Structure 1
């Protein structure tokens, strides 16, 4: 049994990760702002606090020791620095949820070495100082340059699932069903995705294996925006209304200018086998569309 802290663990793949850890009998502590209820009961120690506030981290965790910490909600260099100052010498390993957004969407397949956090210049700041993309780059850089504990930075693409609170795939399915316009930039641009359950499985694997460093984590395969829309049309039986001059209201959350996907050879060589996108994406669309026959 391991002592594990999960920063953010009541929604989506964070919740699934906690469920997996509890099923294996680990001692789990979660920290959230308390805005989302959870179903773990007294199986977890639930600390309510703001992860971005250093004094709250100190109050709750100063001198406490954990075998593994999963940080799903760090977004800036300042937050990463505060974490290192509090947890250096007190944890066995950090698994940090990073993002495909550390890479530019320039049409090229992305490998881990395409963004080097070990030598990336650090700029100190809070959320208002950075875009989401730059905030994740900065957080990675601080963790890899300042931490005295092993770090894994898991670079996820957009995570999909029936219970995705952001509703990004739902947006497309529902607008096509309702006959509403969807705006794109480039229908030939390809993306990679990962299912929430698989994201949780990868996080657990990264924590319990001996791997360190940045890791791309995505389902095998990629799909163009045109192919995705045709897949939704086939499932729903409705024709999509597409524009390449969308406004903010109808612009797709997947409206990228160029292909944006990752290579997972590094994780594969380390022993993690990913699913194939084609094996679950059509079924997920059926569930969202209410066409699931089961």
Structure 2
């Protein structure tokens, strides 16, 4: 199959490209050209800035694809433009969405908790919305206006050794370095998925017949308190936790007020087999702790 991936040079986007290549698909990536092309001649590369509508339309003008993956759409305006450009050019679009389409209100989320099909569209650019609202608006545009099938994959926090956001790394680094971390509610539970599993689900969403919104998360959730305990056990250091207050540097990127996780039952029923969070999270934490400890060892002379 011919596959186009918007945003495929780092983290789970890169893993998706690798997976598509391993399964012998004809892959094109569209990037701004700033991160280079880690795949060389294995892929075709189109260069365009997503924010330049004319350049994007020109880059995508002469080819059709079986599947298009859009990992870098954050607003209804971007969603509307890609729908217009891809009309007649793809058989299916997979949109990377987010747990942030749901409120962190302590209730385990299912796809029905945000219905993009009846959500009022307010057109605008990414700077006009919060991250979560921008994704809600983009979903609404895609599901209401796209003439081709769409899947919106709602991911929780994606983690992995190569995570450029370094949100899990932040907690490891602060604990290993005996620095304080500020939370809102350490008892709040969260869900996660690895970059490998995120890529695997995106691939599944493309080649299967599913349509509509799907939650994709490892099975299980963990409280922030238990996550900190994992890091403490692996590092031998005690977490210095404060609730509220603290300076900007100490604020946890996981500082949520209440449980914020979701059910993967719909995706599992569609045929995808998810990992168990507790099967791999301790191993990942162990790896990140060892990396951090190694980085602070005194230089040997």
Q: Please indicate the TM-score interval, normalised by the length of the shorter structure.
A: over 0.9
**Corresponding residue of 2:299:** none
What TM-score does the superposition give when structure 2 sets the normalisation length?
0.95
Could you tell me how far 1:33 is from its partner in structure 2? 1.2
**Corresponding residue of 1:96:** 95
**Corresponding residue of 1:79:** 78
TM-superposition CA deviations, 1:263-290 (whole Å, max 9, x none): 1110011000100000000000111111
Distance 1:36 1:291, change over 3 A: closer
Q: Which moved more, 1:70-79 or 1:53-62?
A: 53-62
**Corresponding residue of 2:255:** 255
Alpha carbons 2:101, 2:135 under 8 Å: kept? yes
> The residue matched to 1:95 in structure 2 has which SS?
strand
TM-superposition CA deviations, 1:149-176 (whole Å, max 9, x none): 0000000000000110111111000110
> The residue matched to 1:70 in structure 2 has which SS?
strand
> The residue matched to 1:143 in structure 2 has which SS?
helix
**Corresponding residue of 1:280:** 280
Matches within 5 A, 1:155-194: 155-194=154-193
**Corresponding residue of 1:152:** 151
Distance 2:91 2:51 in 1: 22
Alpha carbons 2:47, 2:59 under 8 Å: kept? no
Q: Over aligned residue pairs, what C-alpha RMSD do you find? A: 1.1
Distance 2:85 2:36 in 1: 27
Could you tell me how far 1:62 is from its partner in structure 2? 2.0
Q: Which runs of 4+ in 1 moved over 6 A?
A: none
Distance 2:232 2:267 in 1: 34
Unaligned ranges ≥5, structure 1: none
Matches within 5 A, 1:233-248: 233-244=232-243, 245-248=245-248
Could you tell me how far 1:63 is from its partner in structure 2? 4.7
Unaligned ranges ≥5, structure 2: 293-301
Alpha carbons 1:78, 1:125 under 8 Å: kept? yes
Aligned pairs, number: 291
What TM-score does the superposition give when structure 1 sets the normalisation length?
0.97
Distance 1:91 1:24 in 2: 20
TM-superposition CA deviations, 1:236-258 (whole Å, max 9, x none): 00001011123321101111011
